[in-house]
Amino acid sequence: MKREFEPWIKDLEPDWQSVFDVCSRCPVVASARGFRLPAQSTIVEVLNGIVGMLFPGCLGRDAQRTFAGDHDGLLDASETAQALYSCIVPVAKYYCELDKCEFCGDCEKFARKVVEDFFSAGASIREALQLDVQAAYEGDPAATSQLEVVMSYPGLYAITVHRIAHQLVKSKVPLIPRVMSEHAHSKTGIDIHPGAQIGSGFFIDHGTGVVIGETCVIGQNVKIYQGVTLGALSFAKDEDGNLVKGVKRHPNVEDGVIIYAGATILGGDTVIGHNSVIGGNVWLIHSVPPYSKVYNAQPAPVVRTKEGS
C-alpha cells in the first residue's frame, strides 16, 4: 500500500487511538504482546509443507517442483519439521505463561517431542490416507482415477488435514490444530474438530456443511455425504451455569456405516452400530444396533399440476 497519504488522514489519529485503547483492554490482544506467535498464514504454510510430504507432487507446497522429481524430498521434510517446531515453541510459551499451564515447563523440549512424535506417526498416517483415497475412488461413480481423488476431492483434503491436526492434538499442542482444521473447513465446507477420532478408509462425498464434533469416535470404512451433522444434543453446565468443557457429547459411529446427506445424529450416548445405513435428512438421537436401516417415512410432497401453454 502506498505511503503518501491525503493530508486529512493524520486527523484520524485520535479515532485510531480509541480503537487501539479498546484492543488493549482485550485479553487476547493485550496478552499477545511480547509473543511472536505464528500468524494463521504461517501455520497454513506449515500445513501445506506436511501435506506435500504426504502427497509429493500432487498436493501441498511446491507440488509442481516435486512432481518433476528433481527436488530434495529430505530437505523439504527437514524444512517442514523446523517450521512446525518454530510454530509450536511460542504457542506453548503463550499458553504456559498466560493460561498458567504447568504441564510443559520446557517449551523447546515439548516442541521437539511433538515434532519427533509427529514424524514417528507419519508412515501410519500415510497408510490410513491411502485407504481413504481408495475408499473415495471405489465409492464414487464419478471418480475416474485415484489421481483425480487426490488432486481435487475436498473430502480427501479434509481428512488429510484432520489426520495431521489430530496427531498434534494427541501431543497436546494447543491452538495450532484448530487453526489447521478451520483452514480445511474454509476450503471445503467440512468442519471436523481436530479432537475427533476417525478410522481409515473414511470418505466424505461433496461434503459442504458436514460437522463432526470434538468427541466423536468413528470406525473404519465409514462413508458420509454432504450436510451430515454428528453433534451434541445438549451441553452440561456446572453449578455456576457455565458450560462444562471436555465431556463426551458427540456420537460414536461404528465400522462400515453409511450416512446420507443432511442426516443429523446427536448425543454422547448415541452409538450407530456397525454396517448400518442412515437415510437422508434423518434426525436420530438414540442408538441403533448393527446392520440397522434407518430412514424417514419421507413426507410425500403435495404436487399441484396446472397444465398450461
Indicate if the alpha-carbon torsion angle 110, 112, 114, 120 is positive or negative. negative
71 in contact with a copy of itself (CB under 8 A): no
CB atoms within 10 A of CB 277: 17
Interface residue with a copy of itself, options 214, 217, 255, 258 (CB under 8 A): 214
Q: Scan residues 3-32 and list those touching a copy of itself (CB under 8 A).
A: 3-6, 8-13, 15-16, 18-23, 25-29, 31-32
Q: Scan residues 151-190 and list those touching a copy of itself (CB under 8 A).
A: 151-154, 174-175, 178-179, 181-182, 185-189
Take residue 97 and report the three cell numbers written for it: 505463561
197 in contact with a copy of itself (CB under 8 A): no
Interface residue with a copy of itself, options 112, 172, 217, 220 (CB under 8 A): 112
Q: Scan residues 215-234 and list those touching a copy of itself (CB under 8 A).
A: 226-227, 229, 231-232
Q: Tell me the sheet residues that pair with 252.
A: 217, 271
77 in contact with a copy of itself (CB under 8 A): yes
CB-nearer residue toward a copy of itself: 102 or 242? 242
CB-nearer residue toward a copy of itself: 39 or 105? 39
Q: Which of 148, 214, 164, 175 is nearest to 54 (CA)?
A: 164
Indicate if the alpha-carbon torsion angle 135, 140, 145, 147 is positive or negative. negative
Interface residue with a copy of itself, options 44, 47, 49, 253 (CB under 8 A): 49
Taking every pair of Cα atoms in the chain, the longest distance, rounded to a whole number of angstroms, is 79
Whole-angstrom distance, CA of residue 81 vs CA of residue 60: 15
103 in contact with a copy of itself (CB under 8 A): no
Q: Scan residues 248-267 and list those touching a copy of itself (CB under 8 A).
A: 249, 261-262, 264
CB atoms within 10 A of CB 270: 18
Q: Which DSSP symbol is given to 5?
A: -
36 in contact with a copy of itself (CB under 8 A): yes
Binding mask 125-154 for a copy of itself (x = CB under 8 A): xxx--x--x----xxxxxxxxxxxxxxxxx
307 in contact with a copy of itself (CB under 8 A): yes
**Contact yes or no for 134/150 (Cβ under 8 A):** no
223 — phi, psi (to 5°)? Answer: -125, 130
